Structure 1
């Protein structure tokens, strides 16, 4: 069962290792890798949060607003980027155990795509996010972006 505190693990500051296909719809395309940082904070007593991710090496910042619908017990994940300033269509879903799956519909390069976000590998110091697209009604998925998160050391903590 999903709860309003499913994303509590993500609050705080993270280093982010991105691995992204150069063409989101081409399984034969190459991958690019780059780093970033992320900071997430809670709203609505845990039932919402925002993370901001400056990707300085690429010159843009990403932002995700996550909202928990207490009635349906589903999360909506809403992404935006400073490149466009537009809110992408949400992906909606829940956690089952240590894995969260979220689905939505979008377009990419003029093609309708089904979008899947997966959160996994969650611990006190790590997490993984993956994005995949399907263009064939969810028969097959192409993973096109992976982010591995590592919690940043607390700043200002005196050493022992």
Structure 2
């Protein structure tokens, strides 16, 4: 069951290993890897949080605002990029058995896509996030971005 404290593990500082496809909709595209950092802080006594990820290799930063809706016991994840200066459509979902799945609709390069974010392997020292797109309504998925989060040496959850 999802709760307002599902993302408590994520508060604080992180080192991030990014892996991204060069073509988000191309299953044959190459993967690129680069480092980054992230910092997350709680809001609303834990029922919301905001994090900023710094991706120097892309000359970009991103921010995610996560909000827990107690009526539906679902989270909305709202992403914005410094490259576009706009808020992307949110994804919605929840955690069950330590795994968070979140879904929404968007467009990419003019194509309608179903978006899936998955949080897995979450603990105080590490976590994994991945993004996948579907162009067939969710029948098949192409993972196009993975972030592996680890705590910087000597730090703890904040």
TM-score tier after normalising by the smaller chain length = over 0.9
Q: Secondary structure of the residue that 1:50 maps to in structure 2?
A: strand
Query: What pairs with 1:58-97 in structure 2 (closer than 5 Å)?
Result: 58-97=58-97
Whole-angstrom distance in 1 between the partners of 2:23 and 2:90: 21
- Encode CA deviations 1:31-80: one digit per residue, 9 max, x unaligned: 11111000000000000000001111221111000000011110000000
Which residue of structure 1 aligns with residue 33 of structure 2?
33
Shift of 1:107: 0.2
- Mapped partners of 2:154, 2:38: distance in 1: 14
Q: Distance in 1 between matches of 2:145 and 2:97?
A: 23
Tell me which of the two structures has the higher relative contact order, counting C-alpha pairs closer than 8 angstroms and 6 or more residues apart.
2
Q: Which residue of 2 aligns with 1:153?
A: 153
Alpha-carbon distance, 1:12 to partner: 0.4
Displacement of 1:153: 2.9
Query: Is 1:102 aligned to 2:102, yes or no?
Result: yes
Question: C-alpha distance in 1, partners of 2:85/2:137?
Answer: 29
What's the CA shift for 1:23? 0.4
Q: Secondary structure at the match of 2:45?
A: helix
The number of residue pairs the alignment matches comes to 155
Listed as ranges, the gaps of 5+ residues in structure 2 are none
1:57 match: secondary structure: helix
Work out the CA distance in 2 between the residues paired with 1:88 and 1:145.
Answer: 16
Separation in structure 1 between the aligned mates of residue 83 and residue 40 of structure 2, nearest angstrom:
20
What do the CA deviations read for 1:71-121 (whole angstroms, capped 9, x no partner)? 111000000011011000000000001100000000000000000000001
- Secondary structure of the corresponding residue to residue 54 of structure 1: strand
Instruction: Work out the CA distance in 2 between the residues paired with 1:124 and 1:74.
Output: 22
Q: Distance in 1 between matches of 2:111 and 2:70?
A: 33
* Secondary structure at 2:122 match in 1: coil
Give the Cα separation in 1 of the matches to 2:10 and 2:127. 8
